[in-house]
Structure 1
Amino acid sequence: MNVWNRTLTAVAAGAALAGALQVPATAAAPALSWQECGGGLECAKLTVPIDWKRPGGAKTRVDTARMPARDPARKLGSIVVNTGGGATIQPVRSMPAVVSELTTWFDVILIDPRGLGDKGSDSLVECPVPQPGIAGLVMAPGEAGWRAQAEANAAYDASCREAMGPAYAGLTSWQVAHDLDALRAALGEPKLRYLGNSYGTVYGQAYLELFPAKVGRMVLDGIPDHTQPSLERWLTNYARTQEQQLTRFRDWCRAGCALGGDDAIKVFDDLLARVRRAPLPAGGQTVNERAFLVAVTEGLTPPAWPRLAAALRKAADGDATDLAKLRPLPPERPAYTQGAMLCHDFMPEPPGYRDFLAMESRLRAAAPRIGWVQGRYQVGRCVGMGGGPAYPPHPLRAGSAPPVLLAIGDTDANTPHLGAEHLAGRLPKARVVRHGDGHAAYLMQGAAGLNGTCLRRHVHDYLTAGTLPPSGARCPGDLVARIPRG
């Protein structure tokens, strides 16, 4: 779940939920000392307890930054933004257009989650051991591959634990939601106005449950569903959405792409049958069935569609070199703590190998072409990790929260729209705006200079005036429409 790119037992889930709903008394609002930090930003440290259940205990510091309103005399207040998927301040510093339009009305307050932070900040924790690649369980599908992925994940997790020290105990979205409330208080805002993208929506979901009376206006875009306690159902939403993504790619290609008049799904099926018989040549290497599935999975993100179409065309002609180039990049060095937090929040008790195989057989039945691969992608993030802080998925209880705005993208397979729709069903007061774009659509439209789009108008009307879009609102795919067809 990256912006810029579970079955739990009933006993465990119930115990975790009971703990999650024990909201500690709000600590006194900490002071923020804003200092210029370059790029038109002012930065400050927010001091918070490592564990909000023990507010008088040891402390840690969280990075925040302010992008001041263009006209301070006319601003409507502050809006807190988390872009998800890792740090927020660094990406916005390098690409301010993703949120700068909001300064028409607000001071934009950026907050990084625990363990992350601005470049050079002492809040930014580097884990010496990288997390293994997301495709590890696909490329090495047997039990030995499972053990290797688990060992690599465990080594990454242990290195993060050592690097972060005692503050590692606070690495959950439950703690971050409390940090958001401390930031709200420090800003002097009676209610939180919040825009969360991607993983930032997990913090928003936690805030809705923990502080419903403090919710002002909240926009969640690119939503990973934290309200589904069944790992298999959660994975099935990923699998079915990815299977639909192949169909959407085919439909996009029909209007013109490198495949010419060929049906993209038929090309996929034919190539899959070929690589099952024998690997395809790819320059000095080959592409086997597993590498083919990983390449197509990576290529189904809408911005990659032209590359995928060209690579499939070339592979159908006997050269899989470009398909091989679609495989994910090696793990980054240094690594950061977001991967550990994801597992604490979504999979604190990963399934065993045999249990997963049984689950996978049902995923293959639900999404037989390409979607079932998502089971190995998602479980591969967390197998081998466990025993750390946990905030597992559970049904959301936020009935007293005011209406919030959920943006759901038809072509978002990163955080599947089926999961986002499940969350929407848990929030009867929520209003949904569907759109034809993919992940992080609000931010990416801003980065592309598309400030007057249907989606952004709905978001701004709601944030500034509380005007929700009509029921059933739908916006076009403004970014998808700009994808070159090659």
Structure 2
Amino acid sequence: MRISSRVLSALLLAVVVAGALQAPAGAARQSLEWVECGDGMQCAKLTVPIDWKRPDGPKTRVDLARLPAREPGRKLGSLVVNTGGGATIQPVRGTPAVVSELTTWFDVVLIDPRGMGDRGSSTAVECDRPQAGIGGLILNPTAAGWRAQAKANAAYDASCRAAMGAAYAGLTSWQVAHDLEALRVALGEPRLRYFGNSYGTVYGQAYLELFPAKAGRMVLDGVADHTRPSLERWLLDHARTEEAQLRRFRDWCAAGCALGDDDAIEVFDELLARTPLPAGEQTVSRQQFLLAVKEGLAPPAWPRLAAALRKAADGDASDLARLKPLPPESPGHPHGAMLCHDFMPDVPGYREFRAMESRLRQAAPRIGWIHGRYQLARCVGMGGEPANPPRPLRAKGAPPVLIAIGDTDDNTPNLGAEHVAAQIPGARVVRHGDGHAAYLLHSAAGMGDTCLRRHVHDYLTAGTLPAPGARCPGDLLARIPRG
């Protein structure tokens, strides 16, 4: 980062840490009005300050949904769940199995972050403009491409600010962590029992720092590391994980895939050297090839990637051309803005980034280095305020936390998850061979008493932590077809 950025980061760090150590006064208990809202759910709204540093200031509302315990007389209390990725309630409506077994022991209470909400809810904000495409800086690597990406993101940001109005000022995980505390108080729970997946782990990290004495049993799965003040160091974890993911794909393919006896990395190298690749009446450029492979490295896409590489090696890259990120949601939603305020409130300039990128290429020369462009594509051009920049985690007094880390998780890198776990006193890690959101995906697939699910349930219900060094197999990985 620029020298001015480092100075700014240091000042922000001092201010934010001081604020974290002197959190605003606790939330007053409010009565939640639960009403039936379909799909076996009861819904309510939690009223919270836009800015918890001004608890008597303007208010906003947060959507909640409750899946009641199957046997109310035997329940252990409430378990608050955030599944990450923006909204929680609507995805659970679509796939209730992701959390339904937890109602064996708990009232499962779903909480949406600010700006998101249930279907038809007034709290669900729509931004007129979509966020820029995640692959934009890869496909358009020039300074002009950088400016175009920044212009599109700036328009998205402005539309979200207009749609949310004053409530936009509360769009950080620091504020959401206070919302979690207000929910704990409203539920009448002495401690917050919490399951956070993906971005839900960012809220969990903030809660552990702000309210360690109020934290109860907490499971963090698919951990997004919000503790690296250095953007380059954060990107390096992504780059190295993706480079390792290519090797894991090669190893998986060696046991049987569409590439036959060919080494997947050798095929990758040969195709990259041959770009642009013929694809029917079009071609696949070097940038398109790299982005396609990056998209195909998520384990569920491995068979498709192997088949596309085979076909490209045989002279037709049209299937690779179809391996690309989903288009931006239109209309947009404000969760993308929250990510930028939390992780990249001070995006480097183009020249500064090019120097950073050269170092990423040294560390992860085949595929990992493009994560710099992949991640910054979200936030270049976005406004920096409100800001909640990453900082080391201080969670003194927090109880033991269970952290699940997937070997093949290239969404939230295992290197970052390990970094977070090392900062939480008494944290216990269970490693597994699967990728991102493994617990939820095991549950959605009805996989029963898997090793990972057993560890999560034993901990949440009885406080039983896995033994140090615990490891579970890749149960989902074993189900991936090789043909």
TM-score, length of structure 1 as denominator length: 0.97
Match of 1:332 in 2: 329
Aligned-partner Cα distance in 2 for 1:64–1:15: 31
Amino acid aligned to 1:475: C
For 1:283 and 1:24, locate their aligned partners in 2 and report how far apart those are by CA, in whole Å. Answer: 61
Confirm or deny: 8 A CA contact 1:98 1:447 kept in the other structure.
Answer: yes
The alpha carbon displacement at 1:285 in A equals: 2.0
1:436 is matched with 433
Q: Tell me, yes or no, if the aligned pair for 2:23 and 2:210 is still in contact at 8 Å.
A: yes
What SS class does the counterpart of residue 238 from structure 1 fall into? helix
Distance 1:237 1:428 in 2: 22
Q: For 1:451 and 1:169, how far apart are their aligned partners in 2?
A: 43
1:421 to 408, 418, 423: 418
Instruction: Report the secondary structure of 1:28's partner residue.
Output: coil
DSSP 3-state at the match of 1:65:
strand
Question: Residues 45-444 of structure 1 correspond to what in structure 2 (within 5 A)?
Answer: 45-275=45-275, 279-444=276-441
- State the 1:380 CA deviation: 1.2
Rounded Cα–Cα distance in structure 1 between residues aligned with 2:476 and 2:86: 23
- Give yes or no for contact 1:101–1:451 (8 Å, CA) kept in 2: no
- The residue type paired with residue 317 of structure 1 is D
1:19 positional shift: 3.2
Q: Which of structure 1's runs of 4+ aligned residues deviate more than 4 A?
A: none
Structure 1 gaps of 5+ residues are 1-5
- The reply on whether 1:478 has 2:444 as its aligned counterpart is no
Please state whether the residue corresponding to 2:422 is helix, strand or coil.
helix
Q: How far apart, CA to CA, are the structure 2 residues paired with 1:156 and 1:56?
A: 30
Alpha-carbon deviations, 1:183-232, whole Å to 9, x = none? Answer: 11111101000000000000000000000000110000001100111111
**Structure 1 residue 109, shift from structure 2 partner:** 0.2
User: Residue 460 of structure 1 corresponds to which residue in structure 2?
Assistant: 457
For residues 402-456 of structure 1, the C-alpha deviation after alignment (integer angstroms, 9 at most, x for no partner) is 1000000000000000000111111131000000000000000001111210000
Counterparts of 2:367 and 2:18 in 1: how far apart (Å)?
Answer: 38
State how far apart, in whole Å, the 2-side matches of 1:283 and 1:33 are: 59
Describe the SS at the equivalent of 1:365. Answer: helix
> Structure 2 counterpart of 1:355, which letter?
E
User: Distance in 1 between the 2:242 and 2:150 partners?
Assistant: 25
Q: Contact 2:398 / 2:425 at 8 angstroms: preserved in 1?
A: no
Q: How many Å separate the matches in 2 of 1:387 and 1:381?
A: 13
Q: In 2, are the aligned partners of 1:462 and 1:468 still within 8 Å (CA)? A: yes
* TM-score of the superposed pair, with normalisation by structure 2: 0.98
Residue 179 of structure 1: how far off its partner (Å): 0.4
One-letter identity of the residue aligned with 2:13: A
Find the residue that maps to 2:378 and give its secondary structure: helix
Cα distance in 2 for residues equivalent to 1:168 and 1:29: 24
Q: Shift of residue 319 of structure 1?
A: 0.3
Q: Deviations over 1:151-203 (max 9, x none)?
A: 11111011000000100000000000000011111111010000000000000
**Contact 2:27 2:185 (C-alpha < 8 Å) held by counterparts:** no
Deviation at 1:284, TM superposition (A): 2.9
Q: Distance in 1 between matches of 2:316 and 2:460?
A: 50
Query: Which residue of structure 2 lines up, in the alignment, with residue 3 of structure 1?
Result: none
Q: CA RMSD in A?
A: 1.0
User: 1:22 — aligned with what?
Assistant: 22
Shift of 1:328: 1.2
Once the two structures are TM-superposed, the CA of residue 386 in structure 1 deviates from its matched residue by: 2.3
Give the secondary-structure state (helix, strand or coil) at the position aligned to 2:44: strand
d(CA) in 2 for partners of 1:434, 1:301: 18
Structure 1 contact 413–439 (Cα < 8 Å) conserved: yes
Deviations 1:314-338 (A, max 9, x none): 0000100100110112211111011
Q: Secondary structure at the match of 1:146?
A: helix
SS in 1 for 2:288: helix
Deviation at 1:9, TM superposition (A): 3.1
Distance 2:18 2:273 in 1: 50
Displacement, 1:38? 0.5
Moved more, 381-390 or 38-47: 381-390
Alpha-carbon contact 2:27-2:181 (below 8 Å) kept:
no
Contact persistence 1:350–1:386 (CA under 8 A): no
